[in-house]
Amino acid sequence: MNATHKSKCLWILLVVLITFATFSQSSAAVNVEALGERAGEEQSTVSRRVLTFYYPWYGTPDGPGGAGRTVHWGRIDAANKDIAASTNYPALGAYDSHDPKVLDQHCRWAKRAGIDTFIVSWWGHNSFCDRAMEKILDSCRRNGLSACIYYETVPGPKTPQSAADDIIKVLNKYGKHPAHLKVNGKPVVFVYGRALNQLGLTSWLKAIEIINEKYKEGVTAIGDQFSHGAAQVFDGVHTYNTAGSLRGKTPTDVRKWAAGTYRSWVQLADQAGKISALTVIPGYDDTKIRKPGLAVQRYDAELYRVQWEEAIKADPHWILVTSFNEWHEGSEIEPSLEYKQRYLELTGKYAKRFKASVPVGFPELPPIANADPSIRHPKGFKVPTGLQIERTDDRISIAVDARSLESIKLKVGANMVTGFKHEMRVFRNEELILSGYMGLTGGTKADIGTTYLNQSLDKIPQPGEKYVVEICFEIFETDIPAQHMWSPQSSDKYRVLWTRTLRQTVE
């Protein structure tokens, strides 16, 4: 079988998978070439991230969003600490999602808990949630977070075109905001299961194709379905709520379920070269608003712990927390009268562990026993003073200028491992479009040499736009063995020895 025929057969197989996975009865034709292109898109540069589902639909009579009425809370009995439509009672009391002070407090809590991004429930243009979105993005920007929408429902007539037009309008409003989450310069949109099922996978393939044609930057779409078809159509896969699978299970049962399920979900995404996102929940209880409803016990936080531990072992790109503040369903980690800040603290603990964890397949090694940072010895390093950047029509190539290296001496602890890393940020017309740690190494040699930094950024340059590349270099010491340089800062003996930021404009 020749390569061309084999490739066409692969595309046909993918279409068959989608046809069986879709809930839609649409007879719209599938663009096989588009599917084949999406099947080949890799997500290898995606950094680890913790995200949480965020609900901006609460309003109070005296708040800026409520405008004289209560929104979503139902009856509020502040004296008795009870809200009719809330399983637990918020530490802030009933609040207004349009209040900048509330949003800033949420962002500060999230930042302290190691959360990077709010996935914001979004219910259509000029909806209550939509009117809060820009305020949320502004607050995220002030507090060092990012946000994106959770696309909840497709407007009529519920076609690929209506979905694409709707999302393009969202991206035109919010996609260029500095705090909007992007992957490789493309703004992220999570698609909830309801919206996914309203079209089906074949129609979502067409919708995403339209968005990428009509919206210059394109889109990173994350679908709420773990299936082979969804992994081919979307840029990543996730699920919103695992409560149905956890119903009636003890923490021991949940650990067994998560150990097998999480790994299979990550493998599904990895095989398609897409973003893998695993969901953890502290618990769930919607029996106050639904009858008979569904309840999943928290087991004194043990349920949350075992999910986090197994999710970290599965090594996904992202971990999602359901939820930050879905008070109706009792899945919130936001501080409450009942749980105080316990779940924020746990989230912070595990978020740090996740971001510093060693990839699967590397054994755990103990710290170097005789490492002693109190005993200092001089050690020589070569460090850069300039960058070499080349721009073509479709690429920006970045490297250390070999002529710029200079020798320095730093004092290093006895038997400590030295290493280096750099964080790169790319701005387009002063808007941050790419950020992340792009390199990390260590061992006997810690020179930042000409072969260390060699990045090519494809499909970023746009004619007539100015770019700024900013790179922060760092040399550090740690007692973590060199082969585990993914997590040097997890040690108490980790210390930054030297930093330098280089910035260059690319016309």
Q: Starting at the edge strand that comes first in sequence, how are the strands of the sheet with 495-506 ordered?
A: 431-443, 417-428, 467-478, 495-506
Domain-located, residue 363:
no
Same domain, 40 and 186: yes
Same domain, 432 and 351: no
Residue 475 pairs with which residues in a beta bridge?
A: 420, 498
User: Pick from 355, 382, 408: which residue ends a domain?
Assistant: 355
Confidence class for position 30, pLDDT limits 50, 70, 90 = very low
Q: Kindly compute the dihedral angle of the four CA atoms of residues 153, 114, 340, 56, in this order, to the nearest 10 degrees.
A: -20
Residue 12 vs residues 5, 18, 20, 119: alpha-carbon distances, Å: 11, 10, 13, 34
How many domains are contained in the chain?
2
Domain-located, residue 90:
yes
Same domain, 298 and 191: yes
Cβ contact 63:98 at 8 Å: yes
Report the distance separating Cα 421 and Cα 440, nearest Å.
4
Res 111: pLDDT? 95
Res 422: pLDDT? 74
Confidence class for position 364, pLDDT limits 50, 70, 90 = low
CA angle 291, 292, 297 (to 5 degrees): 120
CA angle 485, 47, 443 (to 5 degrees): 15
Question: Is the pLDDT assigned to residue 121 strictly greater than 70?
Answer: yes
Res 441: pLDDT? 45
The position carrying tokens 């210390």 is 495
Same domain, 281 and 318: yes
Q: Around Cβ 13, how many Cβ atoms within 10 Å? A: 13
For residue range 249-279, list pLDDT tens digits in order: 999 999 999 999 999 999 999 989 899 999 9
Q: Which of 89, 17, 112 is nearest to 335 (CA)?
A: 89
Domain-located, residue 11:
yes
369 or 262, which is more confident: 262
Burial letters 310-329, b for 16+ CB under 10 A, else e: bbbebbbbbbbbbbbbbbbb
Q: Which of 5, 108, 113, 118 is nearest to 51 (CA)?
A: 118
Confidence class for position 68, pLDDT limits 50, 70, 90 = confident
Residues belonging to the chain: 507
Same domain, 174 and 279: yes
Percentage of residues of the chain with pLDDT beyond 90 = 61
Same domain, 177 and 315: yes
Question: Is the pLDDT assigned to residue 32 strictly greater than 50?
Answer: no
Burial letters 86-121, b for 16+ CB under 10 A, else e: bbbbbbbebbbbbbeebbbbbbebbeebbbbbbbbb
Q: Averaged over 469-482, what is the pLDDT? A: 81
Domain-located, residue 364:
no
289 or 24, which is more confident: 289
Using omega within 30 degrees of 0 as the cis cutoff, is the peptide bond preceding 292 cis? yes
Q: For 80-94, 124-138, 266-280, 415-429, which range has the lowest pLDDT when averaged over its residues?
A: 415-429
Res 454: pLDDT? 43
Q: For 126-140, 274-288, 298-312, 457-471, which range has the lowest pLDDT when averaged over its residues?
A: 457-471
Domain-located, residue 16:
yes
Same domain, 163 and 280: yes
Q: CATH code at 337?
A: 3.20.20.80
User: Pick from 325, 355, 385: which residue ends a domain?
Assistant: 355
Report the distance separating Cα 22 and Cα 198, nearest Å.
10
Res 398: pLDDT? 75
Confidence class for position 393, pLDDT limits 50, 70, 90 = low
Question: Is the pLDDT assigned to residue 450 strictly greater than 70?
Answer: no
Res 12: pLDDT? 31
Q: Which of 334, 306, 229 is nearest to 274 (CA)?
A: 229
Cβ contact 234:190 at 8 Å: no
Q: What is the CA radius of gyration of the chain?
A: 24
Question: Is the pLDDT assigned to residue 110 strictly greater than 90?
Answer: yes
Residue 232, sorted as left (phi over 0), alpha (psi -120 to 50) or beta, turns out to be alpha
Q: Which of 51, 64, 79 is nearest to 323 (CA)?
A: 51
Question: Is the pLDDT assigned to residue 25 strictly greater than 50?
Answer: no
Res 477: pLDDT? 86
Q: For 143-157, 225-239, 366-380, which range has the lowest pLDDT when averaged over its residues?
A: 366-380
The average confidence (pLDDT) of the chain is 84
Q: Which of 407, 441, 403 is nearest to 422 (CA)?
A: 441
Same domain, 236 and 94: yes
Domain-located, residue 365:
no
Domain-located, residue 426:
yes
Q: Averaged over 471-489, what is the pLDDT? A: 71
Same domain, 415 and 315: no
Domain-located, residue 489:
yes
* Domain extent at residue 387: 372-506
Q: Averaged over 493-497, what is the pLDDT? A: 86
Kind plus residue range of the DSSP H or E element containing 228: helix 228-233
Question: Is the pLDDT assigned to residue 76 strictly greater than 60?
Answer: yes
37 or 413, which is more confident: 413
User: Pick from 306, 326, 355: which residue ends a domain?
Assistant: 355
Any residues with CB less than 8 A from the CB of 361 and at least 6 apart, and which? none
Q: For 132-136, 360-364, 420-424, 431-435, which range has the lowest pLDDT when averaged over its residues?
A: 360-364
Same domain, 212 and 283: yes
Res 367: pLDDT? 76
Question: Is the pLDDT assigned to residue 289 strictly greater than 90?
Answer: yes
Question: Is the pLDDT assigned to residue 344 strictly greater than 90?
Answer: yes
Residue 452 vs residues 20, 277, 401, 440, 441: alpha-carbon distances, Å: 46, 30, 11, 9, 9
Report the distance separating Cα 266 and Cα 317, nearest Å.
9
Cα–chain center distance at 35? 24
459 or 115, which is more confident: 115
Res 457: pLDDT? 53
Res 462: pLDDT? 65
Same domain, 318 and 376: no
Distance between the two ends of the chain, CA-based, in angstroms?
47
Q: For 37-46, 114-123, 172-181, 485-494, which range has the lowest pLDDT when averaged over its residues?
A: 37-46
Burial degree of 415 (CB within 10 A; 0-12, 13-18, 19+):
middle
Same domain, 324 and 186: yes
Question: Is the pLDDT assigned to residue 480 strictly greater than 70?
Answer: yes
Long-range contacts of 497-500 (CB under 8 A, 24+ apart): 497/410, 497/411, 497/412, 497/418, 498/381, 498/383, 498/408, 498/410, 498/474, 499/472, 499/473, 499/474, 499/475, 500/383, 500/384, 500/385, 500/472, 500/473
Confidence class for position 394, pLDDT limits 50, 70, 90 = low
Cβ contact 237:276 at 8 Å: yes
Any residues with CB less than 8 A from the CB of 104 and at least 6 apart, and which? 139, 142, 143
Q: What does the DSSP assignment read for 169-188?
A: HHIIIIITSTTB-EETTEEE
Tokens of 249: 């299970």
Tokens of 449: 């040499």
Q: For 7-11, 95-99, 124-128, 355-359, which range has the lowest pLDDT when averaged over its residues?
A: 7-11
For residue range 37-59, list pLDDT tens digits in order: 555 444 545 888 999 999 999 99
Q: For 19-28, 77-86, 142-151, 358-367, which range has the lowest pLDDT when averaged over its residues?
A: 19-28
